[in-house]
Amino acid sequence: MESINIVKGDKEKVYESLIPQILALTEGERDSIANMANISAALKEAFGFWWVGFYIVRADASQHGSSLVLGPFQGPVACTRITFGRGVCGTAWKLAESVIVPDVEQFPGHIACSSLSKSEIVVPVFRNGEVVAVLDIDSDKLEDFDERDKMWLERLLSSNIVL
């Protein structure tokens, strides 16, 4: 297994170098859990984010349909289930679009898994037009995410990686 080569520099440079490496790392792997695990690890290693991971849409009879359930992640322990429309993750699922939160304390209904989390981005994963998972990244710095993260992460998750 080759390791990830981390380029130092501004965010754009890191993504430019990292995204092709993630595509190479996941190429040919048909298991979504394995790919989610390596994507989480690569993003955490490259950027040093506080928490990086996936929540997966799963059938949940007690929630009259489905919930987001914790999937592969890197970082401290996190809440395991998030209902439709709840928190930043549930909102991104409901809206079926990425959500950037510059200051989590200003986001109504934010689910605080850790008081050290200050800003957040959540990017949906689509299959046949449906949200099947979300990628959630938390930072311990305020305003750590912008349109560049959104653009690169959406590009990554809409590539042909099996997720």
- CA within 13 Å, CB half, 21: 20
Give least dist CB 82 to ligand SME, A.
6
At 35, which amino acid appears? N
- Residue 110 touching ligand SME (CB under 6 A): yes
Nearer to ligand SME, 65 or 109 (CB): 109
Q: Which of 111, 132, 150, 162 binds ligand SME (CB under 6 A)?
A: 111
Measured from each CB, the residue nearest to ligand SME is 87
Give the CA radius of gyration of the chain: 15
Residue 113 binds to ligand SME (criterion: CB under 6 A): yes
Measured from the CB of residue 57, what is the shortest distance to ligand SME in angstroms?
A: 14
C-alpha distances (whole Å) from 76 to each of 7, 49, 67, 146 are 25, 11, 21, 23
Alpha carbons 65 and 57: distance in angstroms, whole number: 10
Binding site for ligand SME (CB under 6 A): 51, 78-79, 82, 87-89, 110-111, 113, 117, 120, 136, 138
